[in-house]
Amino acid sequence: MADITAAMVKDLREKSGAGMMDCKKALNETGGDTDAALDWLRTKGLAAAQKKSSRTAAEGLVGVAVAGTKGAVVEVNSETDFVAKNEQFQNFVRDVTQIALATGGDVDAIKAEKMPSGTTVEEVLTNNIATIGENQSIRRARQLSVENGAVVAYVHNQQAPGLGKIGVLVALESTAADDVLQGLGKQLAMHIAAAFPKALNENDLDEAEIERERAIATEKASESGKPADIIAKMVEGSIAKYRKEHALVSQLFVMDGKTKISDVVAKAGKDAGAEIVLKDYVRFQLGEGIEKEVSDFAAEVAAASGVPQG
């Protein structure tokens, strides 16, 4: 067997765009012949998959799953919404969500787990990229659990059972009856999907975002021409309002527009005769934060056919 060096692996990786371990395996399979290894990667669909990785994957599906007092949510991206309707892709997202439910929210750990077929998640993902013909990626995952109570899942814009554009989990710690927790959890999850809180409590909000808001509020207040002490109060008032509007427990319930979420939970607990604690939540919206590539399809077709524009 040829001695496979790091330099050989690096060279093949640069030529093929495939992963390091795949390049090493290809070189081992072909006795260190780089050209043959490149062909080996192509026959396995690995080089093609990596070539597609430069394209933006901002579509896809969010999957949710719950078992007992544990729940998981996963976002798997594709390049087009068309793929999200593909049964192969949907089944993959369901399987990955079940794996996240069992193992947790670490994406690298999820990729290393075995699928029902016996191959790893990463191997199946690579194969899907090659066979479906679009870049795909497991972008993120999260698991929630409680000791006593319920984790309630909700999917907004559901495209298939447990799959959609927005996935929400709500973790409620309580000894109240399950039907009470399920009903409350569903209402809270629908609120979260619509209101997009940024943190559970005001103290959990990102301080960097708070400082950005403070800078904006200061600039606006300064334009009023009021004295410095008044400006300071105006700024603090703006920050207090921002905290209340973006922390889940202090948001106004979308169902009535006047009751704080903390009061909704407290009343539900009082009615049930058992304290209910809103322990945590997670909200995944498909593609949030991903910069989508914008292309002029008509111009691309015209350019390819030699037709001048304008």
Residue-wise pLDDT for 52-94, tens only, equals: 444 445 789 999 999 989 999 999 999 888 888 999 999 999 9
Q: Provide the percentage of residues in the chain whose pLDDT is more than 70.
A: 88
Q: What is the mean pLDDT of residues 98-127?
A: 94
Residues in contact with 128: Cβ distance below 8 Å, sequence separation at least 6, in sequence order: 88, 89, 92, 136
Could you tell me which of 249, 265, 292 has the C-alpha nearest to residue 56? Answer: 292
Is residue 176 pLDDT above 90, yes or no? yes
What is the residue-averaged pLDDT of the chain? 86
Cα distances (Å, whole numbers) of residue 274 to 168, 174, 180 = 24, 7, 10
Predicted confidence band at 47 (pLDDT cuts at 50, 70, 90)?
low
pLDDT tens profile 240-259:
999 999 999 999 999 999 99
Q: What is the mean pLDDT of residues 143-171?
A: 95
Q: Report pLDDT for 301.
A: 32
pLDDT tens profile 191-206:
999 999 999 999 999 9
Q: Report pLDDT for 57.
A: 53
Greater pLDDT, 68 or 109: 109
Q: Report pLDDT for 258.
A: 92
Q: What is the mean pLDDT of residues 150-178?
A: 95
Cα distances (Å, whole numbers) of residue 143 to 16, 107, 153, 200, 307 = 35, 11, 11, 16, 52
